[in-house]
Amino acid sequence: MPVLMPTARLWKQLGAPHALARVARSTDSVLGDWSLKSVEVQQGRFIVGVNERTLMAVVFAERPLARLAGTMSACVGAQLDVFGVPPDRITPEVEALQSATFGKSWDRSLLGILNEVAFQFEVAAADSEIASAGELLEMQTELNRIPHRASTPSCLFARDAIVGLLGAETFH
């Protein structure tokens, strides 16, 4: 089960019934764990997520805690589809996220990348109405075109890391 690691502020905003505890890293999904942060822009409150292994970003409207994992899994599935990942490789990742657990973040550099992606989303949202799910997916895809300094030179972009993890031969 992947671990969703919301910031303390997001966890509190979601009205969580208990404090976050450290949990073991996920070993049963290819993508693994995600760091999450709330961002408030003119159009409303959104959650920005960054994947630990690939630095892939997702963005979706903030949802109640009970719906968060399901909404996030749909966003991940949509982004993987945009990257050209075959459905048989997307389905297990989406299903794993739907039963994700919540835990405290252990990676400070991932939080730094999350903050940078959240800032980039705020800048993009200032010039957009975010009037549809398609427009939000477009913004999310643009965020995934930003190179990450923390990555290796061969995987500067999230799509490159996805190809490395899910197999380059599966892409069209």
Q: Would you state the pLDDT for residue 162?
A: 75
pLDDT tens per residue, range 21-30: 777 776 678 8
CB 165 within 8 A of CB 158: no
70 belongs to a structural domain: yes
- pLDDT bin (cut points 50, 70, 90) of residue 148 is low
How far apart CA 99 and CA 117 sit, in angstroms, is 25
How far apart CA 96 and CA 82 sit, in angstroms, is 19
How far apart CA 102 and CA 8 sit, in angstroms, is 12
How far apart CA 135 and CA 60 sit, in angstroms, is 11
- Helix, coil or strand: residue 53: coil
User: What pTM did the predictor assign?
Assistant: 0.87
How far apart CA 11 and CA 17 sit, in angstroms, is 9
CATH number at residue 32: 3.30.420
171 belongs to a structural domain: no
Domain that holds residue 32: 3-166
Total number of domains in the chain = 1
152 belongs to a structural domain: yes
60 bridge partner residues = 47
19 belongs to a structural domain: yes
- pLDDT bin (cut points 50, 70, 90) of residue 169 is very low
172 belongs to a structural domain: no
Q: Would you state the pLDDT for residue 107?
A: 77
112 belongs to a structural domain: yes
